[in-house]
Chain A
């Protein structure tokens, strides 16, 4: 079916290509040193996490503080795979592949089964899901063990460079999928909570993930993750091309989703849950869909982040950091894709670049004094975000504006947190 490309689409992809090429050339020539390209890569990674959160909070109105937990899950899952492959051991890939596959099948199958039973309460359903996922994971680990030998020999037969890139790609996708499956399982009971309670429960997820990572070597037998000492020796495979590729995919997926009828349903849930329900929208399904998709993005971003510095520490995934994507999306303007991406890069450049390099000597410790002050001033001057309502033409197309929260009566409860 031939479709005429519209002008905005051509401009958008052309612009993106030019931007990518310019930065890539600058990196190759050596104008942008490793330090600066690092900032850009971190900016892109933060943009992906924040786009995920923007989907959950900005477009669907679910106040989630769990984004950082899913980011951590994706980072550690992917790092484990590539770390093992560096030692010529495909067991990580094989096992995680089987586990993700079987858990996915179990979640889907149980979902179909349970939808037949009327009147099942959430607690019971959650319990059944937990049992099913546990069983599927155990079987997956066994099957993965059987698959390890053949997979290792197949990957070893390939050229080394190609094999490691393939493993890296699989690791990113699996990292995202693990995060998404955890999000599905966790979101099932928690998404029924009211807005602030949902936020706190997801904050709890972030704390729990951090504690589990702290004890990954002593209690769960992942020796290579080294628990609270931090995981080292992860291959540095995240290039500008990889992050840009995934950022573009995430942007396009977000844009296309929001312009589909599912996207309209997602936005209508943000505007008014009860009215959406009355219009025949399955609110629970759309909440789950957005939460899982947003977490998938977080997992992908985590996987990319893990391979930037080659070092992961549980402290990076502290719950305090889970406010970073929240700050970014509020600054970029809730419900603005352009704003989120801009704010993410701005955040990375400000925090890692400007405040690190240009504070006068003797004032290095002022970095985190200046940052909150800027945050306060910006918030007081522009409470609706820097680019609230501004959107590139390609991304815009009939995006319904955020409901003006300022006009709501004081003390009203609802989607806004």
Chain B
């Protein structure tokens, strides 16, 4: 499309009509109105079901946010789309699986101090499992970064991208070997028993085997744990990036690497730390995802990784609040379109939303506009 610099701004109504700028906006509004109508009509009919879907969307959104942050931080700092990130997420889920079902790591406090209340010791155990997955993933990501990405830092960006795809394939198919993880689906054992509540004029615990009253909203401790863990980690990340010296160094490196180096910042170290933090979040996301959907397989990271990546782009890649916002939008879009518009089309709808947003805001919702550089 040609740009039309040097043209006078339209004055009258008919001139504006002839410019035709309204056509696209009208179509966009019509599309949004249709989507709102399709969702809203059924939401009014069955508000409890709608609330349930929103809750599921939140749950998914939190997990996507955990992954999307890694994408966005790494992109912000080295301009690399780290396609191996989804597989780091998978490794997190598998590490927690082995820790729980082989080593019984979630029971360590209970076996050490049997006197403690069960809930408390299981909570500590779950947190330990999540921490273990985070540490393992962070370590893995640093190794990947050192071996595969660092030697290519001055090469064309496409080389690093191809390498990232190679690492992704390697993690998947190495994990699929019999003696590593497994080529099959594995049933994931949750580190805590599931407790379900329903909301209908107050919160009541659901006794297993009893009827759920019609028109009530169900929620479980899975949702609470996912929401609390993610919020806690997000606050922690925000603190690291905004308040600490490392965070300031990260922002400086993201802004201008040569100058950051001149200011005495260890650029390579900061890049490694960024990879580690992103991967730690993905590892936690992997555990949470496995807790929510307890069936794990070596390729489980591909689709959530892609969705989270889309979320990061939707919010404006390189922007941390953007990644969170994008993840929330993706979570809602996925559950609501699956529930009310079309289940098999939900991936297509997610990408259609992305493309539409990019058409309106070419660098994502909160993305900074691209600076022209010589």
Query: Which residue numbers of A lie inside 8 Å of B, CB to CB?
Result: 63, 117-128, 189-190, 192-194, 196-197, 199-201, 204-205, 207-208, 211-212, 214-215, 218-219, 274, 284, 319-320, 323, 326-327, 330, 334, 365-369, 371-373, 375-376, 379-380, 383-384, 405-406, 409-414, 416-417
What residues of chain B lie closer than 8 Å to A197, measured between beta carbons? 313, 358, 362-364
Q: How far is the CA of A319 from the CA of B303 in the complex (A)?
A: 10
Question: Do the beta carbons of B302 and A320 come within 8 Å of each other?
Answer: yes
Tell yes or no: B159 within 8 A of A by CB.
yes
- Can you list 19 pairs linking A and B with CB atoms under 8 Å apart? A119-B19, A122-B1, A124-B22, A124-B23, A196-B79, A196-B317, A197-B313, A207-B351, A208-B351, A211-B348, A212-B348, A319-B306, A365-B178, A368-B169, A379-B152, A380-B151, A384-B159, A405-B157, A411-B256
Q: Which chain A residue has the least Cβ–Cβ distance from B255?
A: A411
Q: B261 CB to closest chain A CB, in angstroms?
A: 9
Question: Do the beta carbons of B23 and A128 come within 8 Å of each other?
Answer: yes
Supplied contacts A200-B358, A326-B162, 10 more A-B pairs, CB within 8 Å: A117-B20, A118-B4, A124-B23, A192-B362, A193-B362, A201-B354, A375-B166, A376-B166, A379-B163, A384-B155
Q: Which chain B residue has the least Cβ–Cβ distance from A211?
A: B348
Q: Which chain A residue has the least Cβ–Cβ distance from B83?
A: A323
Question: Do the beta carbons of A120 and B19 come within 8 Å of each other?
Answer: yes
Tell yes or no: B183 within 8 A of A by CB.
yes
Q: Identify whether the interface residues of B are mostly helix, strand, loop, or mixed.
A: helix
Q: Which chain A residue has the least Cβ–Cβ distance from B154?
A: A406
Tell yes or no: B181 within 8 A of A by CB.
no
Report B159-184 residues with CB < 8 Å from chain A CB: 159, 161-163, 165-170, 172-174, 176-178, 183
Q: How far is the CA of A125 from the CA of B313 in the complex (A)?
A: 24
Q: B302 CB to closest chain A CB, in angstroms?
A: 7
With A319-B306, A376-B167 already in contact, the answer to whether A207 and B348 are too (CB < 8 A) is yes
What residues of chain A lie closer than 8 Å to B177, measured between beta carbons? 365-366, 369
With A323-B165, A369-B177 already in contact, the answer to whether A117 and B158 are too (CB < 8 A) is no
With A124-B20, A327-B165 already in contact, the answer to whether A193 and B358 are too (CB < 8 A) is yes
What residues of chain B lie closer than 8 Å to A409, measured between beta carbons? 258
Question: Do the beta carbons of B2 and A284 come within 8 Å of each other?
Answer: yes
Question: Do the beta carbons of B310 and A200 come within 8 Å of each other?
Answer: yes
Q: How far is the CA of A122 from the CA of B157 in the complex (A)?
A: 29
Q: How far is the CA of A176 from the CA of B57 in the complex (A)?
A: 40
Contact of A123 among B7, B25, B81, B168 (CB under 8 A): B25
Question: Do the beta carbons of B354 and A200 come within 8 Å of each other?
Answer: yes
What residues of chain B lie closer than 8 Å to A274, measured between beta carbons? 372
Tell yes or no: B207 within 8 A of A by CB.
no
Contact of B359 among A123, A366, A368, A383 (CB under 8 A): A123
Q: How far is the CA of A315 from the CA of B157 in the complex (A)?
A: 28
Q: Which chain B residue has the least Cβ–Cβ distance from A406?
A: B154
What residues of chain B lie closer than 8 Å to A372, measured between beta carbons? 165-170, 173
Q: How far is the CA of A372 from the CA of B173 in the complex (A)?
A: 9
**What 0/1 readout, one digit per residue, does chain B (107-134) give for beta carbons within 8 Å of chain A?**
0000000000000000000000000000
Question: Do the beta carbons of A211 and B347 come within 8 Å of each other?
Answer: yes
Q: A67 CB to closest chain B CB, in angstroms?
A: 14
Question: Do the beta carbons of A369 and B21 come within 8 Å of each other?
Answer: no
What residues of chain B lie closer than 8 Å to A122, measured between beta carbons? 1, 24, 359
What residues of chain A lie closer than 8 Å to B359, measured between beta carbons? 122-123, 126, 189-190
Question: Do the beta carbons of B19 and A413 come within 8 Å of each other?
Answer: no
Interface centre among B22, B25, B169 (most CB of A within 10 A): B169
Question: Do the beta carbons of B176 and A416 come within 8 Å of each other?
Answer: no
Q: How far is the CA of A194 from the CA of B364 in the complex (A)?
A: 11
With A117-B20, A122-B24 already in contact, the answer to whether A369 and B170 are too (CB < 8 A) is yes
Q: How far is the CA of A207 from the CA of B170 in the complex (A)?
A: 22
Nearest 9 interchain pairs by C-beta: A123-B24, A124-B24, A204-B351, A124-B23, A368-B173, A383-B155, A405-B156, A375-B166, A372-B169
What residues of chain B lie closer than 8 Å to A375, measured between beta carbons? 162-163, 165-166, 169
Q: B249 CB to closest chain A CB, in angstroms?
A: 15
Report B353-374 residues with CB < 8 Å from chain A CB: 354-355, 358-360, 362-364, 370-373
What residues of chain A lie closer than 8 Å to B28, measured between beta carbons? 123
